[in-house]
Chain A
Amino acid sequence: MITAMTGPKTSGMRIWWAQIKAVIRLEMKKTFFAKRGLWIYLVAALPVFLFIAFAVATSGRQHQRASVARRGEKILTYQDLLAVQPGMTSEEVVAILGKPPVNFHWAENRPLGPGVTANVLRENYHYSDGQNDLFVGLLDGKVESVNIDSGNNLGQDSIMFAGVFQFFFLRLAIFFGCLGIFMNLFRGEILDRSLHFYFLAPVRREVLMVGKFLAGLLATGTIFVVSELLQTAAFLWHFSPSAREVYLYHNHGLEHAAIYVGVTVLACVGYGAFFLVAGMLFRNPILPAAAILIWEFINPFLPGILKQFSVIYYLKSLCPVEIPSPPGTSPLLALLVSNTDPVSAPVAVVGIVIVALIALYASSVQVRRMEINYTTE
């Protein structure tokens, strides 16, 4: 029996690392396959579904455009579509673009003065060059309106992608995903009354905390990086291979994708550290989650010094695509959308790491103080 007093003969750092790996192995199983964490997969998958739906809808419209282009008398270019101007006659339009492949016309009773009306002919011509649509509105044979609907526009779509990434994926999906996983690392064990299993092992509490944090990071990182990659794939899916190639290799697409992955991981680090300490300090996750959510939301309106104690402040600075405020946006909303005082990428990365380290230090202090007293929980 008394072979004890002798532990494994390994040096401190090596044994700590072995213990961290043991914690990670135990936690990964619980984190990835926990029923209470299924909603996190759903939240992570939502933007993927959104981009798939967008791709399907865009592909449908693409087929429609191709069909309109095929039915036209001439093979048109984008320049041909731009040649049509208001005031032209229908004959002039047909001379440039040929007979419209899709044509609607109807008569309209139009008031000319008090008690006087006249019948007018309205027409709509629909042309396409295969990529873009041209809608021409005519009144009594004269062009009244010209509307070009640019089809696949990677520039515009990448702004849309950036919007979804910043306003849904970062601020909601990763935020709540980290809440669900990191807050449960200790709080879940307390609720399940199984935390003593770890506390009875010859493990430094700080080592246990680091192991749990890394397990949470591995889980959230895997879930959200996979989601991010699937979003990128879904986003690019409906573009032609040549357009994809141009975007990825000549228009920084690949670089942007890599940055998005990096920002995703950093978001998991930052929010994870926050929620790890919150899970130790609070019994009810709703209150700290609401407080952190509000803190992150009001970040653009905070004084410079306070901004630095936030995760989103640094993450926004790292995002590769600036989202322009649409004209007419209220100044308050514009402040929320735009990044008025971005920091450089190295400062942003170091900033998140420092914020995370502060939160992890608070966790290490708290974990040393923790007692097993399930009855009061």
Chain B
Amino acid sequence: MSAPVRPSVNSLMNDRIVFEDVSKFYGEILGVNRVNLSIPPGITSLVGPNGSGKTTLMNLMTGLVRPSRGRVEVLGYKTDDPEHLFTILGYSTQFDAFPKGLTGYQFIYSYLRLAGRDAQTAEQMAWRVIERVNLVDAAKRNIAGYSKGMRQRIRLAQALAHDPKVLVLDEPLNGLDPLARSEMIALFRAAAAQGCYVIISSHILHEVDVISDQVILLSNGYVVAEGQIATVRGEIQEHPTQILIRCTRPRELASKMLEDTHTIEVTIHKDEKGVLLKTRDADGFYLALNQLAMNGIDIESIAPADDDVLSVYEYLIGNEEVVR
């Protein structure tokens, strides 16, 4: 465990989290099916309704369950080799149970001792991570007496305790108050900025939208889309692109827009200071818009209105069980 171990010779990729044709069945129940993924550094969000396979994907990534078919590697490490895998990976699960009778500090300290740290190092690392998740005051209290948010934070602390390169976080913001949420999001961003792989599952789409570098959309055990949000949105052809244009003469702009054959629908904004346009050819629209701007219509801003996770999710999966 101690020395950095070279990933296996025939490993898939040493700088990615890779799923190669992975399926997982629980008896006859499908967990995930035929998943092929290659996850780069940064924040990657797993998005999907309950039962879509998010937790299964995370459990596969961390070796808590084994694939029925295919293989998973994390930066070249095999997931059935916890001794090496968890030197680079920390997992904050959704399981809300802890070893009995431990305080928050003992929980983290014991984990670090299990990880092979000596007493002094484990103590220092435990306090450092407890401070990072803002639990110093409660650290000496028994976890059984913690609130939901505190339990969530101590689980995060366990995942962060040994400074892993890969952070897998199952619904990490659940139970946290708004302040704690923003603190945690800042923490994830900082980790990603330093080159970490942060894998987050969440139901809360606006948060996913704010923090994710890329998303993996899951539905019924299948990956329905993956990549950067804008790219994913661009690939959804059956839904026209929506663009919000702020301008001084919206009605005039709307009538001119309708002359373009790619424009499907134009709606005047209720404040009469802009239009919402639906087009099948965004690139063609932007060219046409330049022409219009030159014709004297004063355009203040142009912004895509549906290249966020929320819209992509709605287009691909529907309105199932998500929090906007």
Using a CB–CB cutoff of 8 Å, the interface residues on chain A facing chain B are 1-12, 15, 18-19, 22-23, 25-26, 29-30, 33-34, 192-194, 196-205, 207, 368-369, 371-374, 376
Contacts and interface: CB of A to CB of B under 8 A. Distances in A.
A135 B96 CA distance: 72
Contacts, number: 138
Nearest to B56: A373
B59 interface: yes
A202 B82 contact: yes
B82 A5 contact: no
B100 interface: yes
B82 to A, nearest CB: 6
Contacts of A194: 95, 97-100
A197 B110 CA distance: 10
A296 B66 CA distance: 36
A317 B111 CA distance: 43
Interface string B187-231: 000110011100000000000000000000000000000000000
Interface in B123-163: 158, 162-163
Nearest to A17: B116
Nearest to A206: B83
Given A4-B162, A200-B62, A203-B83, A18 B26 contact: no
Given A25-B110, A203-B114, A5 B98 contact: no
Interface-central residue, B86, B190, B195, by most chain A CB under 10 Å? B86
A23 B99 CA distance: 12
B196 A203 contact: no
Contact of B113 (A12, A25, A193): A25
Contacts of A205: 82
A8 B118 contact: yes
A368 B168 CA distance: 22
B121 interface: yes
Contact of A198 (B2, B59, B114): B114
Contact of A5 (B64, B80, B87): B87
A6 B116 CA distance: 12
Contacts of A198: 114
Contacts of B27: 376
B1 interface: yes
Nearest to B168: A200
Interface residues of B, number: 49
Contact of A6 (B4, B84, B85, B196): B4
B165 interface: yes
A200 B62 CA distance: 8
A129 to B, nearest CB: 58
A201 B115 contact: yes
B116 A15 contact: yes
A4 B163 CA distance: 5
Nearest to B65: A371
A197 B99 contact: yes
B6 to A, nearest CB: 11
A202 B1 contact: yes
Contact of B111 (A18, A29, A201, A376): A201
B84 to A, nearest CB: 7
Interface-central residue, B83, B84, B98, by most chain A CB under 10 Å? B83
29 contacts: A2-B195, A2-B196, A4-B163, A5-B165, A7-B2, A8-B1, A11-B2, A15-B1, A18-B116, A18-B118, A22-B110, A22-B114, A25-B113, A192-B100, A196-B64, A199-B63, A199-B82, A200-B86, A200-B158, A201-B82, A201-B86, A201-B111, A201-B114, A201-B115, A202-B86, A204-B83, A369-B66, A371-B64, A372-B64
